[in-house]
């Protein structure tokens, strides 16, 4: 392919030379056009090894793929998937990016230890968080990054997760008690914003304990989502205080509150979560001050809310918009909700996975439908990936690898002809040899949490938090989605476009015109909820 491109370039140059008269101005014109032609050829044709994934040329030379990514965000890789290539090299300017669409090849990427996510965490952190150069130098030149990730994984033990879940769900239970009293119904004109604000505060309570900065200033909840919404503009790094003013100002307010929290050692409180303690300890151990820890740790609040909460919204919208499904799920959940004589209801989150297969399936199906994130890896050394059937590709050191969940989560070869629809029991495992290959393809294609050593460490917290909340609603409440006229509806909102910095889509217009009504079920008016695992 490279040889053909060279021949074409040579023919083009010969045409230019032969067609222009030999005057002084013509020589200048020839020189300029030759220079342009050489530059176009150079930039549109990065050096390629025949063993690399085949080149996928953009429709607009040199910058076409870059324009597509900016314009269509993560959906651009869904567009490229239409070219039916398992893997491809995307030339961008004078560099290249590897795009992987085949689920088996993606799993090969996840297993490969020469492919790492950590460089992205370092490179984008300063743009996202705006910390000082001294902190950046520590991150780049010390052992902080591996120690930081090690601290995260050590904080995700069963006991620590249970404590976080119990604190989050206790907040949710108290909030429901306050808005749903007796038989009176609670209504919100925006279902998404109600869930968003409720669970943002619940998550912050679980993370930070009684000194939760968002409890002291509830306006920080709105700032959390302003920061999230405009982050793609901020990440461009072009005069962010002007081009991304709302995001920039929200970041400053959030970081001021978090700097006060960490600067005054409030993360040492016994009821602060272990993940907050471990991450802060790793930063402090490398000489980063408490105030700078607060600037850096906006990342934790962002990652804990930005995807988990929209996922919960879609989970609830898909479930509660289908009354027949609600009835089936309620029959499954009620045996797990143990009522005592004193009006207390205990839900054992640890048994939900085994005893509520349809509920768990609905949760995973909601993830499949809503998660459209991009997986990113950096090639640390020349390496290969393989589909196990003889197809192997070379990946060159220094290049980036990108994989789209929007593609794999909608592949008909993995999910069947109804891949674009919400199917409640899709993830109820089907036994038998005839289903083994199908189940294997589903597992390979479901990449919402990444894979390999970079598997999302917070997935189990999100699972228990979301399942516990929805199980409570199914058992003790009637939940009805409402249309723009506040009438019951059996539809779900249209999703917005997923940004390159996000993973889970939000409803279009931030959910405007899609409300919710919540009412306690008869006989459940005065119960108190308790959660164990």
Complete DSSP assignment for 217-230: -THHHHHHHHHHHT
CA atoms within 13 A on the CB side of 387: 14
Instruction: Quickly count helices (H) and strands (E) in the chain.
Output: 26, 13
The domain locations on the chain are: 1-45, 132-372+446-532
In 3-state terms, what secondary structure has residue 143?
A: coil
Helix pair 191-208, 219-229: axis angle to 10 deg = 110
Q: What angle do CA 305, 119, 85 make, to 5 degrees?
A: 85
Q: What angle do CA 338, 341, 347 make, to 5 degrees?
A: 20
Which helix (H) or strand (E) segment holds residue 414: the answer is: helix 412-415
Mean pLDDT in consecutive groups of 10 residues from the start of the chain, 533 residues: 41 35 48 54 69 85 76 75 85 87 94 90 85 89 90 90 89 86 87 97 96 95 96 89 95 98 97 97 95 96 95 98 98 93 87 93 96 91 92 95 92 93 93 78 88 71 90 96 97 88 91 96 89 81
* CA of residue 378 relative to chain centroid, distance: 18
Binding residues for heme: 456
Contacts of 320 (CB under 8 A, 6+ apart): 326, 473, 479, 480, 481, 516
Q: What is the pLDDT of residue 10?
A: 38
pTM above 0.85, yes or no: yes
Angstrom distance (rounded) from CA 267 to CA 275:
10
Binding residues: 456
Angstrom distance (rounded) from CA 80 to CA 78:
5
Angstrom distance (rounded) from CA 8 to CA 270:
69
Q: What is the pLDDT of residue 459?
A: 79
Among the listed residues 319, 317, 507, the one whose alpha carbon sits nearest the alpha carbon of residue 425: 319
| Backbone phi, psi, residue 405, to 5° | -70, -30
Q: What is the pLDDT of residue 1?
A: 45
| Backbone phi, psi, residue 88, to 5° | -155, 155
CA atoms within 13 A on the CB side of 482: 19
Angstrom distance (rounded) from CA 74 to CA 502:
9
Which helix (H) or strand (E) segment holds residue 466: the answer is: helix 459-476
Q: What is the pLDDT of residue 393?
A: 95
CATH topology (fold) of 132-372+446-532: Cytochrome p450 (1.10.630)
DSSP state of 420: T
Q: What is the pLDDT of residue 31?
A: 54
In 3-state terms, what secondary structure has residue 234?
A: helix
Alpha helices (H) in 297-411, listed in sequence order: 298-305, 308-320, 323-333, 349-355, 357-370, 405-408
Angstrom distance (rounded) from CA 70 to CA 78:
14
Burial class of residue 37 (count of CB atoms within 10 Å of its CB; 0-12, 13-18, 19+): middle
- Beta-carbon count within 10 A of 530 CB: 16
Q: What is the pLDDT of residue 532?
A: 82
Q: What is the pLDDT of residue 334?
A: 96
Q: What is the pLDDT of residue 2?
A: 43
Angstrom distance (rounded) from CA 216 to CA 281:
24
Q: What pairing do the DSSP bridges indicate for beta strands 186-188 and 515-520?
A: antiparallel
Residues 321 and 492: beta-carbon distance below 8 Å: yes
Angstrom distance (rounded) from CA 319 to CA 321:
6
Q: What is the pLDDT of residue 17?
A: 35
| DSSP codes, 24-56 | HHHHHHHHHHHHHHHHHHHHHS----TTSPPB-
């Amino acid at each position: 392919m490279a040889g053909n491109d060279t021949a074409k370039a040579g023919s083009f140059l010969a045409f230019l030379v032969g067609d222009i008269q030999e005057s002084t101005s013509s020589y200048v014109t020839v020189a300029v056009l030759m220079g342009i032609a050489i530059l176009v050829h150079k930039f549109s044709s990065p050096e390629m090894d025949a063993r690399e994934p085949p080149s996928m040329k953009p429709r607009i030379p040199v910058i076409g793929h870059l324009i597509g990514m900016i314009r269509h965000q993560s959906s651009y890789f869904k567009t490229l998937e239409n070219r039916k290539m398992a893997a491809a090299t995307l030339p961008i300017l004078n560099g290249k990016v590897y795009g992987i669409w085949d689920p088996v090849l993606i799993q090969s990427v996840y297993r490969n230890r020469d492919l790492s996510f950590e460089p992205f965490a370092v490179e984008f952190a300063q743009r996202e968080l705006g910390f000082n150069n001294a902190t950046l130098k520590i991150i780049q030149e010390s052992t902080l990054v591996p120690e930081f990730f090690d601290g995260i994984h050590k904080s995700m033990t069963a006991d620590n997760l249970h404590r976080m879940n119990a604190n989050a769900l206790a907040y949710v239970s108290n909030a429901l008690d306050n808005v749903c009293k007796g038989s009176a119904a609670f209504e919100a004109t925006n279902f998404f914003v109600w869930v968003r604000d409720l669970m943002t505060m619940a998550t912050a309570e679980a993370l930070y304990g009684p000194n939760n900065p968002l409890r002291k200033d509830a306006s920080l909840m709105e700032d959390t989502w302003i920061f999230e919404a405009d982050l793609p503009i901020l990440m461009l790094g072009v005069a962010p205080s002007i081009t991304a003013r709302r995001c920039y100002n929200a970041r400053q307010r959030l970081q001021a509150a978090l700097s006060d929290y960490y600067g005054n050692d409030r993360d040492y409180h016994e009821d602060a979560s272990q993940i907050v303690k471990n991450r802060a300890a790793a930063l402090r151990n490398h000489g980063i001050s408490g105030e700078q820890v607060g600037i850096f740790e906006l990342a934790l609040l962002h990652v804990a809310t930005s995807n988990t909460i929209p996922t919960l919204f879609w989970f609830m919208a898909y479930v509660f918009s289908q009354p027949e499904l609600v009835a089936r799920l309620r029959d499954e959940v009620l045996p797990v909700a143990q009522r005592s004589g004193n009006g207390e209801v205990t839900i054992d989150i640890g048994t939900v996975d085994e005893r509520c297969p349809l509920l768990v399936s609905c949760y995973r199906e909601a993830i499949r439908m809503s998660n459209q994130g991009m997986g990113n890896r950096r090639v640390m050394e020349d390496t290969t990936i393989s589909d196990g059937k003889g197809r192997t590709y070379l990946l060159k050191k220094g290049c980036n690898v990108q994989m789209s969940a929007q593609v794999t989560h909608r592949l008909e070869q993995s999910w069947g002809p109804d891949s674009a629809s919400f199917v409640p029991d899709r993830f109820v495992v089907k036994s038998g040899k005839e289903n083994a290959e199908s189940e294997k393809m589903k597992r390979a294609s479901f990449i919402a949490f990444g894979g390999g050593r970079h598997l999302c460490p917070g997935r189990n917290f999100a699972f228990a938090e979301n399942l516990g909340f929805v199980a409570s609603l199914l058992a003790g409440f009637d939940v009805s989605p409402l249309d723009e006229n506040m009438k019951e509806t059996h539809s779900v909102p249209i999703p917005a476009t997923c940004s390159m910095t996000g993973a889970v889509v939000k409803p279009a217009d931030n959910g405007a015109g899609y409300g919710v009504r919540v009412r306690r079920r008869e006989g459940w008016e005065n119960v108190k909820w308790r959660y164990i695992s």
